[in-house]
Amino acid sequence: MKVRYSYLPQQFQDSDDLWSDLKSFVSTGDFTLGKPLDEFEKNFANLIGAKFAIGVNSGTDAIKLSLKALGVKPGDEIITAANTFVATVGAICELGAIPIFVDCDDTFCMNVTLVEEKISKKTKAIVPVHFTGYMTNMPDLMKISEKYNLPVVEDACQSILGSINNINAGKWGTTGAFSLHPLKNINVWSDGGIIVTDHKDLDTELRLLRNHGLKNRDSVEILGYNSRLDTIQAVVGNWILPKARSISEQRIFNANFLDSKLSKIQGIKIPPRPKNYRLVYHLYIVFAEQRDELLNYCIEKGIEAKIHYPIPMYLQKGVSFLKHKKGDYPVTDEHCNKIITFPCDQHLDKEQLEYICKTVNDFYES
């Protein structure tokens, strides 16, 4: 049996209505900003429970523009997770700011108990990453943010509709940054991103920043970027957004199924699943003994398992100027050797999920 990783060929299969929406849209010529984008922003803000949503051209820019709007300048320090995807760090460094890493815990998110010791006079913001569809411990992080008066930009790129105590990812911080990249739970057909916030002044600033700083056709208020969410992608977004809840429900269902079977296998450890957290399983990751052998075995048996990620961000060549060395973030290091990602998306059937569990079981029993 084959259990493929990418479900993209299936995701837009039954989409005749989308094609007719696109056809009507093209005939309007409303290709820059415009009505479909307004609609998408309103619906996205409603989905998260935020007052405002601002479409931008990627999740990376959603982080970068948020930090820029908060006044981050070259040399400022931004506290973030040591084990994130490169984009978080790239967004910080693009502004000339310095990422200050915090190690993660077994939730794959930053260990919030380690944040305070990283705060210095140069700290300007905290960027927690809700990695894998997990949630950073936001109740505790927001206490630190209030104590030190530091804004929080949530990197919620992997965690749309994740929540703690029914408060959604993106709604805790000063802003929340989401990605609509094809590989994300809610995806469009190209790059795309969106920022949510409850602050009117930030909404105004972010709308300027994403559109060259233009107040109107003729007046440049500030220097900004060309970072609009493509209006065609907003049409696609309007088609997929009503499916957001059912997509995450199905992922949660699949993850619970995998948890229930894999937890019985000696050699596999399931990460913590706190009751008041809603995890949305952008990635379904467990800890495995003999991880590399298990990975090869699964691939041989037709299961496209993966590692997210084998080399931690803080040790990547591209950030060698930060002068970190192996061992600086021991939990992140340990994870790199133990984690394995299995397919868990909404298009898998029960047979495929059972096959994953059986294959893992066979590996440890053989």
Sole residue written with tokens 């992997």: 158
**Per rule CB under 6 A, is residue 271 in the interface with ligand PLP?**
no
**CB nearer to ligand PLP: pick between 88 and 211:** 88
**Candidates 7-15, 22-30, 83-91, 229-237; binding stretch for ligand PLP (CB under 6 A):** 83-91
* Identity at 289, one-letter amino acid code: E
Find the farthest-apart pair of alpha carbons in the chain and give their distance in angstroms, rounded: 71
Q: How far is the CB of 359 from ligand PLP (least distance, A)?
A: 27
* Identity at 238, one-letter amino acid code: N
User: How many other CB atoms are there within 10 angstroms of residue 264's CB atom?
Assistant: 10
**Per rule CB under 6 A, is residue 59 in the interface with ligand PLP?**
yes
* Identity at 6, one-letter amino acid code: S
Report phi then psi at 78, rounded to 5. -125, 120
**Per rule CB under 6 A, is residue 66 in the interface with ligand PLP?**
no
Dig out the tokens for 317 from the structure: 């060549």
**CB nearer to ligand PLP: pick between 49 and 182:** 182
| The three-state (H, E, C) secondary structure of 268-320, written as one string | EECCCCCCCEECCCCCEEEEECCHHHHHHHHHHCCECCECCCCCCHHHCHHHH
- Residues 170 and 18: beta-carbon distance below 8 Å: no
**Per rule CB under 6 A, is residue 210 in the interface with ligand PLP?**
no
What part of residues 125-144 is at the interface with ligand PLP (CB under 6 A)?
A: 129
Binds ligand PLP (CB under 6 A): choice among 66, 83, 84, 168: 84
Binds ligand PLP (CB under 6 A): choice among 79, 89, 157, 258: 157
- Residues 37 and 234: beta-carbon distance below 8 Å: yes
Q: How far is the CB of 90 from ligand PLP (least distance, A)?
A: 8
**Per rule CB under 6 A, is residue 158 in the interface with ligand PLP?**
yes
Q: DSSP character for 322?
A: G
Binds ligand PLP (CB under 6 A): choice among 136, 137, 179, 248: 179
x/- mask, ligand PLP, residues 16-45, rule CB under 6 A, reads: ------------------------------
Q: What are the residues binding ligand PLP (CB under 6 A)?
A: 58-60, 84-85, 87-88, 129, 155, 157-158, 179, 181, 191, 193
